[in-house]
Amino acid sequence: MSSALTGQTAVITGAVRGIGRAIALRLAKSEANLIINYYQNEAAALDLSRKIADLGGHCVLVRGDVSHPDDAQKVIQSSLENFNRLDILVNNAGINRDNLLLRMKEDEFSQVIAVNLLGTFHCTKYASKIMMKGRYGRIVNISSVVGIAGNAGQANYAASKAGIIGFTKSVAKELGTRNITVNAIAPGYIKTDMTNQLSDDQKGKILSRIPLGRFGLPEEVANMVNFLVSDEANYITGQVFRIDGGMEI
């Protein structure tokens, strides 16, 4: 096991499936103590917690809907209650409700903004209060290439992910003097439950646009998160990193 994050505490939102789960396992391998937030999937949460214990890691599961300020505060606060510190926040929780603009209902738009963008705002706000006192923090927000390039049928999702990019850059400017870095990752198409919803036809069209000729793996996003929260990335802030197999070159 690498010991790069030994003794540090990381909060990861939406962390029991897909990309969030891979991030949790990667940071556990780096020996960070983890607060693992999830929303509905308790079975997946318990499975992940066992896996982390098998790796010799420490984690606490915290159920909560990040779009609600009280839940987000509970999630962040649990890092102090359980580990007495907070060093790292990964805003990963996200949903999609795809539809063409003319068919999109207001709640499809507002739900996606609430979880993806407002959830990132709530968690970052509460976490930064703690990090400012400690004069240290590493925040990574999971955006999407869709937030950079747009995507037909995903106006709500693209708006939330573009919002995360503007939020990341603004907060990086606000918090830099306190030694808190804030970066975003923009994944392309990564193999998770979210992309499994696509039809074979849609998958084929997307694959044809990816120079590396395959979808990405959650672990490939997790490796970038691990780098950005490590000492090796101490002078990097306010940036957006695409992990998309070259799709948006």
Q: How far is the CB of 71 from ligand NAP (least distance, A)?
A: 7
Q: Interface with ligand NAP includes 61 (CB under 6 A)?
A: no
Q: How many CB atoms lie within 10 A of CB 214?
A: 10
Which of 9, 30, 78, 92: binder of ligand NAP (CB under 6 A)? 92
Q: What 3-state class would DSSP assign to 220?
A: helix
Q: How many CB atoms lie within 10 A of CB 225?
A: 28
Which of 32, 36, 38, 49: binder of ligand NAP (CB under 6 A)? 38
- The neighbouring-strand residues paired with 137 are 180
Q: Is the Cβ of residue 201 or residue 231 nearer to ligand NAP in the bound state?
A: 201
Q: Which of residues 104-163 bind ligand NAP (CB under 6 A)?
A: 115, 142, 144
> For residue 164, what is the enclosing H or E element?
helix 155-175
38 catalytically annotated:
no
> For residue 203, what is the enclosing H or E element?
helix 200-207
Secondary-structure percent of the chain, ordered helix, strand, coil, rounded to 5 = 50, 15, 35
Crossing angle for the helix pair 119-134 and 69-83, nearest 10 degrees? 30
Q: Interface with ligand NAP includes 43 (CB under 6 A)?
A: no
Which of 187, 222, 226, 229: binder of ligand NAP (CB under 6 A)? 187
Q: Which residues bind ligand NAP (CB under 6 A)?
A: 13-14, 16-20, 37-41, 44, 65-67, 92-95, 115, 142, 144, 187, 189-190, 192-195
Catalytic residues: 157
